[in-house]
């Protein structure tokens, strides 16, 4: 039954062909097009939960499953929720319908109700490993890394060969400051799927958080080869090269990152830092203005611009930027907890 449904739902909306990407407190996805998409987890959730074999359903239950799935695929989420609510009332012991209800609720952003639906599905089918995965996705979307890790550990005890689940678990561990277990999971993911998009990136990010820049750079370079349309690998590698004083290499990497993602704050700021290091102050000023245009509260860019103004003899402009820096510090910007929630 689900083998037939799966082919239909894989192409639904923005979830087609997605692989997981996690950075900081965000859980985003990357598809084959050359940019990062900040989309709901629900599209992938629907894809994943519909990929496992289902229990044999009666024809009327099957008809409901088909109808809800079609509505989900068409983006008719309110209709899918209403249909699924009625269906679980009619078939209260159907784990599959509870899963569908959870997927639709999650797509709508109703995470508490989605979690309840997935837990109910597990109660009805305790051997249904996929719902541990589904629960983990809800927890990850709320930055509850400890709960996500518990669900993923349970899932992987039942389905140890899922490489993406190991990346998810590694990401949860990293956000919990458990870097060594995170690295272990990323390595296991790559052993299972050597060309898994973004696995090298995550492993490199973990290495970089340990200060192992050589290993991190190697992983970023492998990610660039496998996933050339992923901007973050370029600017993170550029930061390492800049720190080593390899300005030409760093500039090339930052520019490649900007080519992939023209609005990348990090790549643009990296390029500005190269200009500052070369004392190309006019170019640095222009690049820093672009960073601030993209992210007005970028305190480092404001500070670097103040320094550049000083060296250019623009004292009034420098004082203005220093005031902005002081104001931003005074606001006490919220920082994401966990190693993986911070830039290396």
CA dist 23 and 171 (Å) reads 8
Give the pLDDT confidence score for residue 21 in this predicted structure. Answer: 35
**Range 280-284, long-range pairs (CB < 8 A, 24+ positions):** 281/308, 281/311, 281/312, 282/312, 284/308
Question: Between 287 and 28, where is the model more confident?
Answer: 287
Give the pLDDT confidence score for residue 7 in this predicted structure. Answer: 29
Mean pLDDT of 243-269: 97
Give the pLDDT confidence score for residue 59 in this predicted structure. Answer: 67
Give the pLDDT confidence score for residue 208 in this predicted structure. Answer: 97
209: helix, coil or strand? Answer: helix
Give the pLDDT confidence score for residue 133 in this predicted structure. Answer: 93
Residue 50 has pLDDT above 60, yes or no: no
Mean pLDDT of 250-267: 97
Mean pLDDT of 320-328: 95
Give the pLDDT confidence score for residue 14 in this predicted structure. Answer: 28
Question: Between 259 and 20, where is the model more confident?
Answer: 259
With bands split at pLDDT 50, 70 and 90, how would you rate the model's confidence at 230? very high
Give the pLDDT confidence score for residue 127 in this predicted structure. Answer: 84
* Residue of 174, 162, 225, 180 lying closest to 202 (CA atoms): 174
The tokens for 293 are: 């245009």
Q: What is the helix (H) or strand (E) element at residue 22, kind and residue range?
A: strand 19-23
CA dist 198 and 217 (Å) reads 14
> Which stretch of 15-19, 79-83, 238-242, 281-285 has the lowest confidence by average pLDDT?
15-19
Residue 307 has pLDDT above 90, yes or no: yes
Task: Write the CB contacts of 117 (distance below 8 Å, at least 6 apart in sequence).
Answer: 88, 98, 99, 101, 102, 105
Mean pLDDT of 61-82: 91
With bands split at pLDDT 50, 70 and 90, how would you rate the model's confidence at 137? very high
The tokens for 2 are: 């689900």
Residues 166 and 185: beta-carbon distance below 8 Å: yes
Strand order in the sheet with 19-23: 19-23, 26-30, 36-37
Q: How far is CA 190 from CA 145, 159, 162, 225, in A?
A: 22, 16, 11, 15
Average pLDDT across the chain, whole number: 83
Residue 342 has pLDDT above 80, yes or no: no
Find residue 22's DSSP bridge partners.
27
Considering the domain 1-143, what is its CATH architecture?
Alpha Horseshoe (1.25)
% of the chain residues with pLDDT over 70: 79
Q: What is the pLDDT of residues 108-136, one digit of tens each?
A: 999 999 999 999 999 999 888 889 999 99
Mean pLDDT of 186-192: 98
Give the pLDDT confidence score for residue 292 in this predicted structure. Answer: 97
Backbone angles phi, psi at 312, to 5 degrees: -85, 0
Task: Write the CB contacts of 180 (distance below 8 Å, at least 6 apart in sequence).
Answer: none
Give the pLDDT confidence score for residue 332 in this predicted structure. Answer: 74
Residues 46 and 114: beta-carbon distance below 8 Å: no
Residues 168 and 136: beta-carbon distance below 8 Å: yes
300: helix, coil or strand? Answer: helix
Give the pLDDT confidence score for residue 57 in this predicted structure. Answer: 45
Mean pLDDT of 286-313: 96
Q: What is the pTM of this model?
A: 0.76
% of the chain residues with pLDDT over 90: 72
With bands split at pLDDT 50, 70 and 90, how would you rate the model's confidence at 249? very high
* Length of the chain (residues): 344
> Which stretch of 95-104, 197-206, 258-267, 325-334 has the lowest confidence by average pLDDT?
325-334
With bands split at pLDDT 50, 70 and 90, how would you rate the model's confidence at 58? low
Q: Domains of the chain: which residue ranges?
A: 1-143
């Amino acid at each position: 039954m689900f083998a037939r449904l799966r082919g239909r739902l894989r192409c639904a909306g923005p979830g087609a062909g997605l692989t997981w990407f996690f950075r900081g407190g965000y859980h985003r996805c990357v598809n084959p097009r050359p940019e990062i998409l900040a989309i709901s987890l629900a599209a992938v959730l629907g894809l994943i939960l519909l990929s496992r074999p289902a229990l044999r359903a009666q024809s009327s239950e099957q008809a409901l499953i088909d109808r809800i799935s079609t509505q989900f695929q068409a983006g008719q989420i309110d209709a899918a929720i209403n249909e699924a609510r009625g269906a679980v009332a009619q078939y209260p012991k159907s784990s599959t319908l509870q899963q569908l209800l959870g997927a639709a609720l999650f797509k709508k952003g109703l995470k508490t109700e989605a979690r309840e639906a997935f837990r109910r599905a597990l109660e009805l089918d305790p051997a249904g490993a996929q719902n541990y995965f589904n629960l983990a996705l809800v927890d990850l979307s709320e930055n509850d890394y400890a709960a996500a890790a518990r669900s993923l550990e349970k899932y992987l005890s039942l389905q140890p060969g899922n490489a993406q689940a190991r990346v998810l678990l590694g990401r949860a561990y990293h956000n919990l400051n458990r870097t060594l277990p995170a690295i272990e999971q990323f390595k296991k993911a790559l052993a299972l799927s050597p060309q898994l998009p973004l696995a090298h990136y995550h492993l490199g990010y973990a290495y970089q958080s340990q200060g192992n820049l050589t290993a991190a750079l190697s992983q970023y370079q492998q990610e660039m080869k496998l996933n050339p349309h992923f901007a973050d690998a370029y600017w993170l590698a550029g930061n390492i090269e800049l720190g080593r004083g390899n300005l030409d290499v760093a500039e090339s990497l930052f520019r490649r990152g900007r080519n992939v993602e023209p609005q990348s704050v990090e790549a643009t700021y990296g390029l500005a830092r190269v200009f500052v290091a070369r004392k190309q102050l006019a170019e640095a000023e222009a690049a820093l203005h672009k960073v601030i245009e993209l992210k007005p509260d970028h305190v480092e860019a404001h500070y670097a611009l103040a320094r550049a103004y000083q060296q250019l003899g623009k004292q009034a402009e420098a004082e203005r930027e220093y005031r902005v820096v002081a104001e931003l510090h005074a606001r006490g910007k919220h920082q994401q907890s966990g190693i993986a929630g911070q830039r290396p």
